[in-house]
A and B are shown apart, each in its own frame.
Chain A
């Protein structure tokens, strides 16, 4: 019940913002202020506890212990860095070349996808224990997307 009321409040604030302050601008203003209000509510509900020197038993999950071989570390860094960037850039270029949209729109949308896809690739490759699978997918994506872009013509 509380969850539904909370989401309804978020939706109502967004709609009122859009109507009163402008369709896009109003929604962004609403979401900015919702974040601050929610954090104020969390701060109001703070539970003060007695200080303890030793750690309490935590239910929080622990990070997995990985095989720590140097080559895996280097490969992981390459995948999260330049190879991830190349794959993201390949998708962006492919989109910019092929998308049936106005020039400005396909270039900007292609550009916006670069940080999002690179960030996603970074998150995935740093998490995936099957590092060779990640290598194959990212390298494959880069090759296929750049090839598709070349097909249309550089």
Chain B
């Protein structure tokens, strides 16, 4: 970059009054500080959750990947899974897709949902549940709180993030002028402000997209409730029925035959030529009022599924073709796809992971700016500085720690173990702020996180190397090890720089 003074051009952004910018900045600051920790947690878990399907394969590497599966194999696997669970209400069957080339069956019956994997012939494979992936996804979706409260809280975090983006743009009068400036290593405040603004502005489409879709997903219950009250006199079932396939007539008597899955799948693909069978859902499969839903994907479209509803005897109840869907149905079908980055293969997933981490950095630097401003004004807040460092760097440590505990052969992997180890590590790091300085805490937590990630990779190799047949297991292990090494290197690099200075 040249240091020569440049001729100032005519500004292309309208002149914003300084008093307005200062007022918006005050709102931006107070909102950001109030929600910083929650926003950071949701963004960090979201960045990891982008790779949920890859982590699921990493946790179950003994299940061989497959490109296709026959309807007969799906039916065999479904019947076998149903036989293993009492009082089955629903069965959700995900057919092999590019990023999850598995036949995965989730059975909702007595007790918690159970996940099964099957081979290409429909035989169930003896492989453990992807406990850590489920823990991480649920942390992102509802923070492991009671569902309604957790969903609402995460939805509100999305709204707070969206609001911060609005006020952030309004409080940024030099948005274009500074678009490519990143000054590193000068004053702490300037460095953090440059990082905050560049990451915030250039990734703005992503930030707006994930915060809006995230808020919508989290607030669905309350929004649908209010809208149903207005449009359908409070009947929420009527509102949901507009978007979901019809239920077969309720008949709880025991079924004479099991649901005819093969026939329903064959009928669906006949009605959606060029598509790819993606999903089969069973409702009350052991009752005479059983229902079958089949989704057929069209990969080039954003909202990508044609939907077919059948009764248990595979008689067609309704066919919903995407080409005939209205705007509302198309938007609704795109929300999750857009939120999790499931629309563009591996490149978009990696981009989503990086941009998600950028959002974590925006959140982290926002609080760092406030702390640096206080320090510059002679009112440092060392306790808050330590707490914020702990909040930021405790999460890589706690995520890696919970992954390690779940992998340990002597510990029975369960959701409680994953949650307990994550929560325990987070609390311990919080307590460490009482006697460890912010700098030492930052270095120690990065070193600890890196070491734990390397340990996770080593333990995975020790446990699965001999029997792993899914290459994604190795790819994810290599990525975890590389990230761990990179975290450790950041500590080493900083030390070298400090010594040179």
Contacts and interface: CB of A to CB of B under 8 A. Distances in A.
Interface in B18-32: 18-19, 21-31
B203 interface: yes
Interface in A96-148: 96-97, 101-112, 114-116, 118-120, 122-129
A121 to B, nearest CB: 8
Interface stretch (B80-88, B156-164, B447-455): B156-164
Interface string A12-52: 00000000011011001101111110110111011111111
A127 B226 contact: no
A143 to B, nearest CB: 15
Contacts of B226: 89, 92-93
A43 B413 CA distance: 41
B470 to A, nearest CB: 26
B189 A64 contact: no
Nearest to A125: B27
Contacts of A122: 31, 159-160, 163
B259 interface: no
A22 B159 contact: no
B343 A25 contact: yes
B170 A123 contact: yes
Nearest to A24: B302
B183 interface: yes
Contacts of B229: 93, 154
B188 interface: yes
Given A58-B189, A64-B26, A119-B215, A42 B231 contact: no
A123 B231 contact: no
Given A36-B351, A154-B229, A109 B328 contact: yes
Contacts of A24: 301-302, 334
Given A25-B300, A39-B198, A122-B31, A116 B162 contact: yes
A37 to B, nearest CB: 9
Contact of A111 (B159, B184, B185, B227): B227
Give the interface SS of chain B, mostly helix, strand, loop or mixed: helix
Interface in B157-189: 158-160, 162-167, 170-171, 173, 176, 179-189
Contacts of A42: 179-180, 182, 198, 202
Query: Most chain-A CB neighbours within 10 Å: which of B167, B193, B347?
Result: B167
A61 B1 contact: no
A104 B227 contact: no
Contacts of B211: 115, 119
B190 interface: yes
B348 interface: yes
A105 B327 contact: yes
B341 interface: yes
A119 B328 contact: no
Contacts of A87: none
A58 B332 CA distance: 45
Interface stretch (B110-118, B261-269, B352-360): B352-360
Contact of A61 (B25, B181, B187): B25
A75 B111 CA distance: 45
A82 to B, nearest CB: 11
B231 A64 contact: no
A119 B300 contact: no
Contacts of B351: 32-33, 35-36
Contact of A96 (B12, B19, B204, B230): B230
A63 B25 contact: yes
A60 B193 contact: yes
Top 3 closest pairs, chain A to chain B, by CB = A126-B27, A105-B328, A115-B215
14 contacts: A22-B302, A24-B334, A31-B206, A36-B355, A50-B186, A55-B188, A63-B25, A105-B327, A106-B328, A112-B216, A114-B219, A115-B159, A116-B212, A126-B31
Interface of A: 3, 21-22, 24-25, 28-29, 31-36, 38-39, 41-43, 45-52, 54-56, 58, 60-66, 80, 89, 92-93, 96-97, 101-112, 114-116, 118-120, 122-129, 149, 154
Given A31-B206, A111-B220, 20 more contacts: A24-B334, A25-B344, A32-B352, A35-B206, A42-B180, A47-B181, A50-B501, A51-B185, A58-B193, A80-B31, A105-B327, A107-B224, A108-B328, A115-B215, A116-B162, A116-B212, A118-B215, A125-B27, A127-B24, A127-B27
Interface of B: 1, 12, 18-19, 21-31, 155, 158-160, 162-167, 170-171, 173, 176, 179-190, 193, 198-199, 202-206, 209, 211-212, 215-216, 219-220, 223-224, 226-227, 229-231, 233, 239, 242-243, 300-302, 326-329, 331-332, 334, 338, 341, 343-344, 347-348, 351-352, 354-355, 358, 372-373, 375-376, 501
